[in-house]
Amino acid sequence: MGQVFLQSRRIAEYEVDLLGEPGTVLEIGPGHGVLTKILVERGFKITAVEKDRYIFGELQSLRAANLNLINMDFLDMAPGSYDYIIGNIPYSISSPIVFKLYEFEFRRSVIMVQKEFAEKIAFPDDMSRLYVNAHVRYNVELKRYVSRKNFNPQPEVDSAILVLEKKKYEEPYPLEFLDGVLVQMFSKKRKKLSNIFDICPEDLADKRPSNLTVSEILGLARLLFDSGSSAHR
């Protein structure tokens, strides 16, 4: 299922509480405005991006000096800087939206996503490109689960609220380089590292990408960067 709409004001207030003191906030996909109304009331300076023209028309009734409504797809939005980013994310495009978030500067993001997707970011059974990219940039916390009964139409799965808190990135190589290594690695995740990369630490040679720790992946990327190559076999 794609877009579903949160009906509970209590849960929406909980999400806004997680942001902190009022500041600039980008809201992704405001829908019928359950979060937007609370953000307006609390005094945040809001940029709300809604793709659907019909829903955008409905949102026009929320006239407020601290609200800027934009009718466009968040995935097409130019990167910017905000204190916060918030949104109840459509299940079907959760991964593209999270990767798009990486282009923005913010202190904290509060997003509600499908339960299983949240768990892949917060504490996965297997390592993934999504997990590593999130954890090198942010402190990630799954705050609570949200029952499917709080949405209309009611989805077949529950949701979860994630908080992403910006942290200092300390590796010597650019994040773009790291992501390139991750793409190579997880596109061949069933192979051993020695069959993916020309250069590989001996203690990792027989491991597969999904069995690595974040620290091991960062160390491998550092070795590849220092050698001037991320060449794969």
pLDDT in tens, 56-103: 999 999 989 999 999 999 999 999 999 999 999 999 999 999 999 999
Q: Quick check: pTM over 0.75?
A: yes
Which percentage of the chain shows pLDDT scores above 70?
Answer: 97
CB-CB contact of 64 with 86 (8 Å): no
Query: Binding-site residues, please?
Result: 6, 29, 50, 73, 88
Partners of residue 35 on adjacent β-strands: none
Query: Binding-site residues for S-adenosyl-L-methionine, please?
Result: 6, 29, 50, 73, 88
Average pLDDT, the chain: 95
Residue matched to tokens 């809604």:
50
Per-residue model confidence as pLDDT tens digits over 123-154 = 988 899 999 999 999 999 999 999 999 999 99
Find, among 12, 102, 89, the residue nearest to 51 by Cα.
89
Instruction: Give the pLDDT confidence score for residue 11 in this predicted structure.
Output: 98
Which percentage of the chain shows pLDDT scores above 90?
Answer: 93
Domains of the chain: 5-166 (3.40.50.150), 175-226 (1.10.8.100)
Instruction: Give the pLDDT confidence score for residue 1 in this predicted structure.
Output: 46
Model confidence band, residue 173 (pLDDT cutoffs 50, 70, 90): very high
Partners of residue 86 on adjacent β-strands: 27, 110
Model confidence band, residue 163 (pLDDT cutoffs 50, 70, 90): very high
Q: What is the mean pLDDT of residues 149-172?
A: 96
Question: Degrees (nearest 5) of the Cα angle 219, 170, 214?
Answer: 40
Instruction: Give the pLDDT confidence score for residue 232 in this predicted structure.
Output: 53
Instruction: Give the pLDDT confidence score for residue 3 in this predicted structure.
Output: 75
Q: Is residue 88 left, alpha or beta, with left meaning phi > 0 and alpha meaning psi from -120 to 50? A: beta
